[in-house]
Amino acid sequence: MLGWTKGFVLAGLVTCAAFSAGQAEYPGALWNPAYSGNYSVSNRPSSYPITHVVIHIMEGYYAGSISWFQNPLSQVSAHYCLRSSDGEVTQMVLEKDRAWHAGVTFYNNQAVGIEHEGFSSNPSFWYTDVQYASSARLTRYLCAKYNIAKDRTHIIGHKETGRATSCPGPWDWTKYMAMVQNDSTFFGSSVPSGIAPGSTVTFTVQFTNGGSDNWTATGTDPCYISTLSPSQFYISGNWLSSTLIGGVTGTVAPGAIGAFTFSMKMPTTPGTYTENFQLYRGSIFRFGQVVPISFTVGQAEKIVDNSDAGFSTVGTWSSGNAAVGKYGSDYRFKTVATKTADYAQWNLNVASGGAYDVYAWWSEGTNRNSAVTYEISDRREPKLVKVDQRTNGGKWNYLGRVMIREGQGTVKMQGYGSGGGVAIADAVRVVGPY
């Protein structure tokens, strides 16, 4: 607070600001200069070193304070103003110049003044987390730019300048300083492709530690990755809560890159989804850059070849690799007989229940059976499909759509039949669910 009467900003003030050329120095800030007679032109840090940041509460409103600093009658100003609702920043005095904010010559000479919208009589309403976070980013920027120590000796409230004031009121210094001393920026991510609906997948998101102490997953103040609100991808027993996922891998020093690897349960409905991630420490809640990660959940493809663990045979089947158009390195075959219980089987083990399209692959050849029987398990009743393996070798052949429960699904090729020739058991493919 700069010495005016509480509530001054409610008055209809006439703005007579003399424009000072320039633009905002802090990235993302608006530039709306104060009246030129409300601050002193200087050449800091050459004329005066910049050694402190002074925190103020406006005891008024954002727009009104900006108007007041542009009024020739006010004789006060601050370098920056912050809005309560969203943390918007407006710069009104260049950092090289001496804003008249502290009422104490030393701090006017050597500090940057930051004004915050609000009233100290109602801090729970005005002192918002978004304003704290925005202010902390600004202060961290100033500390890095002018080599100001990020401690309570150099980051102070207006009342700590020696001026007879209660400003900034009940400011939460513990939370604020933790925000100033912690920062993170997005470095990269590993996002799976071909995500099956209903499956559990692993993501890795990396952040650079822009703070002043180590990140660890244990100890008194561990560093976690979190979502901004309860997540639909939450896994009970795997996540710490519906918003808090898990800790960083290892110890991450300031300036180093930390990896957060975690699992998420995918929706059963195909589509493109986005989740917002941010880091979390108990001392400050969430901090640093908010990172949106998008991923696509689609109809998944699963192929079981005759060499895979999901394949098995009953009876006498031979291995071959000479035929043209085989899938993978080899295939199985047997002569079709009228009296046999032999069969080949592919276990599909689908990630989620639903309707799946099923395909079969066999190698090319003229000695094939003309009516090979595939039996596909279905949630309602098995589906029998006969195919002529003398044609369409070396490609996927559609067998039909069936309903399969999560973790289930089998395709059997029967070894019995008429017409002679051989049956080729090579690969089966499912796509879904739909």
Q: Measuring CA to CA, which residue among 152, 147, 117 is closest to residue 134?
A: 117
CA–CA gap between residue 26 and residue 143 (Å, rounded): 12
φ, ψ for residue 23 (rounded to 5)? Answer: -150, 165
Q: Report the alpha-carbon distance of residue 383 to residue 389 in Å, rounded.
A: 18
Burial of 285 (0-12, 13-18, 19+ CB in 10 A): middle
Burial status of residue 23 (CB atoms within 10 A of its CB: 0-12, 13-18, 19 or more): exposed
Report d(CA 320, CA 330) in Å as an integer. 6
* Exposed / middle / buried, residue 130 (Cβ in 10 Å: 0-12, 13-18, 19+): middle
Q: Which residue has the tokens 């542009």?
A: 70
Cα separation, 55 vs 111, in Å, equals: 10
- Annotated catalytic residue within 59, 95, 115, 117: 115
Q: Is 115 a catalytic residue?
A: yes
Kind and range of the H or E run holding 385: strand 383-387
Residues annotated as catalytic are 115
